[in-house]
Amino acid sequence: MSKIDLAIRGGTVVTASDTFRADVGIADGRICLIADEVKGAAREIDARGLLVMPGGIDSHVHIAQPSGPGIVMADDFASATAAAAAGGNTLVMPFALQQRGQSLRGAVEAYRTKAEGECHVDASFHLIVSDPTPAVLGQELPALVKDGYTSFKVFMTYDDLVLDDRQLLEVFDLARRERALVMVHCEGYDAIRFMTERLERSGRTEPYGHALSRPEIVEREAAHRAISHAELVDLPMMIVHVSGREAMEQIRWAQRRGLKVLAETCPQYITLTADDLKGLDMEGAKYVCSPPPRDAESQKAIWEGIVQGVFQTFSSDHCPFRYEAADGKLNPKARSSFRWVPNGIPGVETRLPVLFSEGVSKGRISLQRFVELSATNHAKIYGLYPRKGSIGIGFDADIALWDPNRKETIRQEILHHGADYTPWEGFEVTGWPVMTLVRGEVVMEEGRIVGAKGHGGILQREVGSYAN
Ligand code: DUC
Ligand code: ZN
Ligand code: ZN
């Protein structure tokens, strides 16, 4: 056997199928041995009392994305991936956003330039298609899929991003031909505009108006429309950031009819509610994201969907803005209407502790389901399996060591992201990641980011098994 660089000894290995006591041997950044005892390694990590789990894969994060005039995202690639590592993640999947009039290839190159040499964990880009011109559909997208950009997001709302039904169908049709996976933001543009203008006319301009302007009906209608379009062209599709019962039931209905509809949900939909947007003065702006968090009954529905397998992935939808900042939540126009409050919340660092604590520690889901939702399914769906997403011979040694009994209180002061607040301030969790290794290198130890940035690489992907 070749030389073993590192052994993780005495821990309990958890995969999407099993939990077992074993040592893990690593050579050249990959897992080379799983055995009762791994001896003779150049270095050892003592994992007694800890869970040895696949590093988290967060397949939905926004980093350094243009977000409107005068607005700046709180994270660059260095800070977002440091936060990811601190939260037990080894890979993030941000978006390369095409602005209208811009070539998609140009957008991708610009994001790669921002990310290269900056990342603490691996990264792999999805595309956002906002301008599906004949050149984009005919040449750019097929070429980009072949180059390993095998998934893209489309929006059913937002002035700068919305695609109409015909455009959605054209993109879906192209994705089917190229076997790419489309992620869909399901909220109806016209209904939101109608509600927003009505609320503004009646003076409901505070942050809570954001939740009132896009109720569950708006998400349900768009989810049903997207499902119908995907059925028409026989396309596997991922509905992202599902917030409550209405959309979840549309997806479950589609899945029961045998349609290839996948779904994602996020921490905000099991822990926050629209009432959080009612915070005094402008405090509610800290929770403005889309779709908005709903209510306790919606949280129950999301758990139902998690337990029943309606959801395959649990991502953060990390989309961070500073609160006390003129380029963030409290920009000069934000007080005049919720529509000017930048849309999104930070969460890449807290996603896994929230799911572990609310899910595993409270007995709602098994460790196996946790690993599926947090890592394995992301790798399978987005074309990184069997390289990423599990602990097995030949996989990249992307590993998080967890103390399942450690109690922590989430606080801004212990986090690494670029935002100046966390929506989970004061949230108590049981279970905490204490070490993260990316391809066999320790990148986080006890909350400290160790090692140089630039260890994280930018990965191209295969077509995922679902799109296939
Ligand atoms: N959609 C996202 O996926 N993230 C942030 C805002 C949004 O609308
Ligand atoms: Zn979205
Ligand atoms: Zn998002």
pLDDT tens sequence for the chain (468 residues): 569 999 999 999 999 999 999 999 999 999 999 999 999 999 999 999 999 999 999 999 999 999 999 999 999 999 999 999 999 999 999 999 999 999 999 999 999 999 999 999 999 999 999 999 999 999 999 999 999 999 999 999 999 999 999 999 999 999 999 999 999 999 999 999 999 999 999 999 999 999 999 999 999 999 999 999 999 999 999 999 999 999 999 999 999 999 999 999 999 999 999 999 999 899 999 999 999 999 999 999 999 999 999 999 999 999 999 999 999 999 999 999 999 999 999 999 999 999 999 999 999 999 999 999 999 999 999 999 999 999 999 999 999 999 999 999 999 999 999 999 999 999 999 999 999 999 999 999 999 999 889 999 999 998 877 776
φ/ψ of 459, rounded to 5, equals -105, 140
Q: How far is the CA of 46 from the centre of ligand 1 (A)?
A: 40
Integer-rounded Cα Rg, in Å, for the chain is 21
Joined tokens for residue 443: 């990148």
Q: Best of 268, 289, 321, 339 to mutate for ligand 1, by most ligand atoms within 8 A of CB?
A: 289
Please report, in angstroms and rounded to a whole number, the separation of the first and last CA atoms in the chain.
Answer: 36
Q: Of ligand 1's atoms, which has the minimum distance to the CA of residue 290?
A: 8
Distances from the Cα of 411 to the Cαs of 266, 357, 422, in angstroms? Answer: 19, 16, 7
φ/ψ of 27, rounded to 5, equals -135, 135
pLDDT confidence of residue 321: 98
Q: How far is the CA of 59 from the centre of ligand 3 (A)?
A: 10
φ/ψ of 126, rounded to 5, equals -90, 165
Joined tokens for residue 136: 């984009």
Q: How far is the CA of 154 from the centre of ligand 2 (A)?
A: 8
The residue contributing the CA closest to ligand 1 atom 7 is 290
The residue contributing the CA closest to ligand 1 atom 8 is 290
Closest CA relative to residue 93, chosen from 141, 56, 144: 56
Q: Decide if 259 contacts 229 (C-beta within 8 A).
A: no
Q: Best of 185, 264, 321, 329 to mutate for ligand 1, by most ligand atoms within 8 A of CB?
A: 185
pLDDT confidence of residue 452: 87
The residue contributing the CA closest to ligand 1 atom 5 is 344
Q: Best of 319, 321, 338, 348 to mutate for ligand 1, by most ligand atoms within 8 A of CB?
A: 319
Q: How far is the CA of 353 from the centre of ligand 2 (A)?
A: 23
pTM listed for this prediction:
0.98
Dist. CA 452–CA 200, nearest whole Å: 48
- Which residues does ligand 1 sit against, CB inside 6 Å? 62, 185, 241, 290, 317, 319, 343-344
The residue length of the chain stands at 468
DSSP H/E element including 244:
none
Q: Which residues contact 453 (CB under 8 A, 6 or more apart)?
A: 78, 81, 82, 117, 118, 119, 120
Q: How far is the CA of 446 from the centre of ligand 1 (A)?
A: 31
Q: How far is the CA of 289 from the centre of ligand 1 (A)?
A: 7
φ/ψ of 437, rounded to 5, equals -120, 130
Task: Tell me which ligand sits closest to the C-alpha of residue 316.
Answer: 3
